[in-house]
Structure 1
């Protein structure tokens, strides 16, 4: 028996539209992002997916996308688990900055390393920065030392994996069909883990917004196959658009 897992990146957020580094900042989706979530729900409904449980981060762009997609599927009753471990990668001192302007200042190559490399984090957020997660109510019960001031994809994966092993994997092994609605980098981390992607190869992997990525898994959760639902060419172009976000403007 195969196990079904869907990874869904939230619909376009306001800061996606503004081309800004978002990270843990709690930015909502745009009207275009809501339409992406509706379309994601339609694609999953047409695929005949019947979810037993869903997981999201504690950031509203993922929560709202998850709700909207399940609503479109008439599956709002599905239990939803929220965890900070599925949050977007923390972009440190880059959070809130314009990606193209940052590339113009530091160079496209450096910004690509910060955005897409496996183990090189951006400059950290200052400990007394009001945007530091230790000042956010939703994280106040957590050990302050567990909260990041910056993250690489490597440390994002280290954050995500305990939740995968403790919460998601057992549900899949028990035969449940699972939806994970999260973010570009927390999902890149899971994609890397599931597909055993090399550290250098993950640099070129981009997850588009609002397009469900369906995995068929063996009973031991090895990947049997995976594909984006809907138009494969549209998914490819959307991923390329993500890759081009940090290029300097002419």
Structure 2
């Protein structure tokens, strides 16, 4: 029987989602479409009668902005928002800023799929020669983390995302769920996928085919041991959701020239 409800949300479309670039830890605001996605998500959750007690986000603007817009659309702006770098998007290392479709043309779709979707393959690390290195590591937000800046990742596999996320999940999020509070985690494609892998017991192989579109809330109903009692539900128009999933999956395909 369902005892707890947990909502996961991949932020609305960001500027670099639109450009099909690896965004990762580069701080990007939402695109115009991303703002609309977040507002639509909030309206949907309000129509379905959901109320949140607390919201968790990463420390990247697109995750925070999505949470604000969702809560505003729900008329629940007062609900506390708690931020942690441990919910950040996966660190894509030296791939940051590169276009996925162009990478697929250069390296092949399978290689890009491995970098994007495999569980335990880490991309090449970012170093000081990378055009976005200083923008990331000189950002004041990374002085607020619970680890020294020099210990922050330089690249991550999905497994490493889960490794840095789990201590926060166990110490901070789980106690809130056990209090019976309803919470929203407004995060990123890979931090949400890592959590789904943990909660649903998805295999290392099968996690590669789990796709979360931007701005679509995912409802998990959990038992007292925080195990799902039914399959996850992506809320909203199912036809639009399937089209959005296909769009995300196609990002890693080489462009065909006509």
Q: Return the TM-score normalized by structure 1.
A: 0.96
Structure 1 equivalent of residue 212 of structure 2: 207
Structure 1 equivalent of residue 243 of structure 2: 237
Secondary structure of 1:223's counterpart equals coil
- Give the Cα separation in 2 of the matches to 1:220 and 1:90: 30
User: Retained in 1: the 8 A contact 2:37–2:215?
Assistant: yes
Alpha-carbon deviations, 1:91-131, whole Å to 9, x = none?
10010011111111111110100000000011110146452
Structure 2 equivalent of residue 156 of structure 1: 161
Alpha-carbon deviations, 1:192-247, whole Å to 9, x = none?
11110000000111111001001111122111122011122322221121111011
- Give the Cα separation in 2 of the matches to 1:131 and 1:49: 40
Greater mean alpha carbon deviation, residues 97-106 or residues 232-241: 232-241
1:221 to 223, 226, 234: 226
1:140 to 134, 138, 143: 143
- Give the Cα separation in 2 of the matches to 1:123 and 1:111: 13
Greater mean alpha carbon deviation, residues 138-147 or residues 118-127: 138-147
User: Retained in 2: the 8 A contact 1:28–1:61?
Assistant: yes
Greater mean alpha carbon deviation, residues 114-123 or residues 225-234: 225-234
Alpha-carbon deviations, 1:5-37, whole Å to 9, x = none?
100110010000001000000011111000000
- Give the Cα separation in 1 of the matches to 2:178 and 2:238: 28
Aligned length: 250
Q: Where do 5+ consecutive residues of structure 1 fail to align? A: none
Structure 1 equivalent of residue 133 of structure 2: 131
Corresponding position: 1:26 with 2:27: yes
Superposition deviation, residue 136 in structure 1: 2.3
- Give the Cα separation in 2 of the matches to 1:23 and 1:156: 12
Secondary structure of 2:229's counterpart equals strand
Secondary structure of 2:7's counterpart equals strand
User: Retained in 1: the 8 A contact 2:127–2:133?
Assistant: no
- Give the Cα separation in 1 of the matches to 2:93 and 2:114: 14
Corresponding position: 1:186 with 2:191: yes
